[in-house]
Amino acid sequence: MLRNKLPGKGTTIFSVMSKMAQDQGAINLSQGFPDFDGPEALRERVTYHMSNGHNQYAPLTGVPELREQIALKVLDLYGCNIDPDTEVAVTPGATEAIFCAITTVVHPGDEVLVFDPAYDTYEPNVTLNGGVTRHIALRYPDFSIDWQQVRDSITERTRLIILNTPQNPTGTLWGEEDIRQLREIIAERDIYLLSDEVYEHIYFDGKQHLSLLRYPDLAAKTFVISSFGKTYHTTGWRIGYAIAPRPLMDEFLRIQQFINFSTNAPMQYAIADFLRDCPQHHYELGSFYQAKRDLFCQLMAKSRFKLIPSSGTYFQLADYSAISDEPDTEFAARLTREHKVAAIPVSVFYKQAPDQRIVRFCFAKHDDTLREATGRLVGL
């Protein structure tokens, strides 16, 4: 008999809702991807490199040109000096970087802290490595961290803390006080950090993104993970990266070489060119998405959804308790079937979902898509 390694885990909610949206002919504001293409200049560089001999295996760590550009970017943005030859690895999406980072540090019986609502790959990745997740629910309605609860959850077996800023699905950002608390908690403890920063360029209202790369003492224990899919509107290209100090990266690469060995070559060359030639794309990404958030919120203002402020990512949470008291999975399914707009029920991001009525909308869409979708939602 085949024994299930992930008991209780079915198909991810993103696949479920995207399929439902397609079957029902609904506008898909569920899964997190844009309905527009990445920059033309970037796509042209892919064609160029495909036509100029860059079609064979890339090195395990990624093409040197791209690693160099990543190093320059984190120096520019976070004042962090990394060695592009030994402290960065390009991966097939952030998803694989997360898996490799977790696999690098988690051994059977180890405990890993995650903040719920949490992105859905963390827990299964820990489980596959024989670890156990401890879940800390962010406080409603501002989704702040209860640091006392974090302290109380640390044990001798705690090996890793996974954080995500800007955070999917809540749109919250870590602040200096969170950094201070984290620093105190891990000081003199054998605990590593995984900082999922795939939305590092998408934050709003003049706020700041506090990458852990800004803090040398924390960066010394951290895998920082990012995704070019999110930055360049190219989630289908599957290119991300991890940054970690050498001893961590050496172990990471020992694992990564046996999973995918290397990442799509022509796109790496193209992204390297684009990072070098068009840094304004990532400088301006926050204001690009802030305009979309503002449009979405303004259009939804007439609805009975209560919007929970989003400071980053391309997601907007909405409380629908004035419309229905159905559980969120049922509400999201009915919204898709009857009103032809798909959203993600937020309870799926929790180990133990609180009694909330919240769905997540993705606003990485053409303005016309947002107008059409919100037109269907305001009547509810």
Ligand X SMILES: Cc1ncc(COP(=O)(O)O)c(C=O)c1O
Residues that bind ligand X (CB under 6 A): 32, 93-95, 119, 164, 168, 196, 198, 227, 229, 235, 240
**Of 129 and 313, which has the nearer Cβ to ligand X?**
313
**Of 82 and 100, which has the nearer Cβ to ligand X?**
100
Residue nearest to ligand X (CB): 93
Q: For the CB of residue 235, give the shortest distance to ligand X in the complex, in Å.
A: 5
Q: For the CB of residue 285, give the shortest distance to ligand X in the complex, in Å.
A: 15
Q: For the CB of residue 102, give the shortest distance to ligand X in the complex, in Å.
A: 12
Q: For the CB of residue 188, give the shortest distance to ligand X in the complex, in Å.
A: 29
**Of 293 and 303, which has the nearer Cβ to ligand X?**
293
**Of 163 and 299, which has the nearer Cβ to ligand X?**
163
Q: For the CB of residue 17, give the shortest distance to ligand X in the complex, in Å.
A: 13
**Of 196 and 328, which has the nearer Cβ to ligand X?**
196
**Of 197 and 273, which has the nearer Cβ to ligand X?**
197
Q: For the CB of residue 236, give the shortest distance to ligand X in the complex, in Å.
A: 9
**Of 249 and 362, which has the nearer Cβ to ligand X?**
362
Q: For the CB of residue 343, give the shortest distance to ligand X in the complex, in Å.
A: 15
Three-state secondary structure string covering the chain: CCCCCCCCCCCCHHHHHHHHHHHHCCEECCCCCCCCCCCHHHHHHHHHHHCCCCCCCCCCCCCHHHHHHHHHHHHHHHCCCCCCCCCEEEECHHHHHHHHHHHHHCCCCCEEEEEECCCCCHHHHHHHCCCEEEEEECECCCCECCHHHHHHHCCCCEEEEEEECCCCCCCCCCCHHHHHHHHHHHCCCCCEEEEECCCCCCECCCCCCCCHHHCHHHHCCEEEEEEHHHHCCCHHHCCEEEECCHHHHHHHHHHHCCCCCCCCHHHHHHHHHHHHHCCHHHHHHHHHHHHHHHHHHHHHCCCCCEEECCCECCEEEEECCCCCCCCHHHHHHHHHHHHCEECEEHHHHCCCCCCCCEEEEECCCCHHHHHHHHHHHCCC
